[in-house]
């Protein structure tokens, strides 16, 4: 079994929990995933099955989309509702107050990773330090927020929901915390749902219970997506049967003998096909004028 299964992760499960359960359902040892979701988060988690697991270190840095619920007037050590409360105060902001702040977070911004994160400081995970009560300085990192909108806001409860389209490495709870800081009342993320990742949406996803039911009914094939579906943002090139033999043996191919895409950039990753069969990925090397094997999935 080789391909992609898009799981709608439930809350209170780690991404590794999901992998373990999928491995048990499918009886497949080679399983990977396309990006960690915190236990409280739900939503799109593409799972890489069989030979597709080899794609884990080559996944495109495509934007991800989230819906994040937040509450004003409270802060915690984790920046989300699961943490220990640090401050709590009453506030009475309006939807317009929130809307007026959002332009500050759109586009290229700098973001300081939270202490409860997997970022390393001197070889130690920040969350390991945080659990010891240690807080250290963190360098701000560049992230990109391409879309940010307020979906709803209840002025009575001071709770709202944001839709966010952002680059890899963005911490949504930091955005909620920063909004609270600007307003002077504090804020925490109360729920997070990833609605899009690696080009897949929640409409493409199934729950673990649905996956088990499909396995019981011998119907996994209906949701198993081809390996190349996760690389559709890359352009493609088709090679002959003879060239395919060379590629499968790890040999580079002369770009002069291929129908390369127009204006191929040096270092560009390309999907490689022989006929309709997806073979893997290649890297365009302009200096040697060769298409070099990056990863094959045969």
Question: Which amino acids are annotated catalytic?
Answer: 38
3-state class (DSSP) for residue 29: coil
Q: In terms of Cα–Cα distance, which of 37, 9, 41, 35 is closest to 22?
A: 9
C-alpha distance from residue 1 to each of 5, 6, 212, 295 (Å): 11, 15, 15, 19
| pLDDT reported for residue 197 | 92
Q: What is the pLDDT along the chain (298 residues), one digit of tens a residue?
A: 899 999 999 999 988 899 999 999 999 989 988 777 888 999 999 999 999 998 888 888 788 999 999 999 999 999 999 999 999 999 999 999 999 999 999 999 999 988 777 777 777 887 888 788 888 888 899 999 999 999 999 999 999 999 999 998 899 999 999 999 999 999 999 999 999 999 999 999 999 999 999 999 999 999 999 999 999 999 999 999 999 999 999 999 999 999 999 999 999 999 999 999 999 999 999 999 999 999 999 8
Q: Where do the structural domains in the chain lie, given as residue ranges?
A: 3-59+199-229, 64-197, 234-296
Query: Which fold would CATH assign to domain 64-197?
Result: Pseudouridine synthase (3.30.2350)
Q: Which helix (H) or strand (E) holds 101?
A: helix 95-101
Q: Write the DSSP string, 45-80.
A: EEEEEGGGGGGGGG-----EEEEEEEEESEEESSSB
Architecture of domain 234-296: Roll (2.30)
Q: Which two tokens stand for residue 106?
A: 């759109």
Q: Do domains 64-197 and 234-296 have the same CATH topology?
A: no
Q: 3-59+199-229 has which CATH code?
A: 3.30.2350.10
């Amino acid at each position: 079994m080789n391909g992609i299964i898009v799981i709608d992760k439930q809350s209170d499960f780690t991404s590794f929990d999901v992998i373990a359960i999928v491995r048990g359902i499918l009886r497949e040892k080679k399983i990977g995933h396309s990006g960690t979701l915190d236990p409280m988060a739900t939503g799109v988690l593409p799972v890489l099955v069989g030979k597709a697991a080899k794609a884990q270190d080559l996944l495109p840095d495509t934007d991800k989309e989230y819906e994040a619920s937040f509450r004003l007037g409270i802060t915690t050590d984790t920046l989300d509702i699961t943490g220990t409360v640090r401050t709590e105060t009453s506030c009475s902001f309006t939807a317009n107050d929130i809307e007026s702040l959002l332009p500050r977070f759109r586009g290229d911004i700098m973001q300081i990773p939270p202490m409860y994160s997997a970022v390393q400081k001197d070889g130690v995970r920040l969350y390991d330090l945080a659990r010891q009560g240690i807080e250290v300085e963190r360098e701000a990192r560049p992230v990109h927020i391409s879309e940010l909108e307020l979906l709803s806001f209840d002025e009575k409860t001071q709770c709202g929901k944001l839709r966010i389209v952002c680059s890899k490495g963005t911490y949504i709870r930091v955005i909620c915390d920063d909004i609270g800081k600007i307003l002077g009342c504090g804020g925490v993320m109360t729920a997070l749902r990833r609605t899009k990742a690696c080009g897949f949406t929640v409409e493409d996803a199934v729950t673990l219970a649905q996956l088990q039911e499909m396995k019981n009914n011998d119907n996994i094939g209906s949701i198993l997506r081809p390996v190349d579906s996760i690389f559709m943002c890359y352009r493609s090139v088709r090679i002959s049967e003879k060239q395919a033999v060379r590629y499968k043996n790890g040999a580079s191919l002369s770009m002069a003998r291929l129908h390369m895409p127009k204006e191929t950039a040096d270092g560009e990753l390309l999907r490689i096909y022989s006929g309709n069969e997806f073979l893997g990925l290649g890297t365009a090397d302009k200096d040697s004028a060769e298409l070099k094997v990056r990863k094959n999935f045969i």
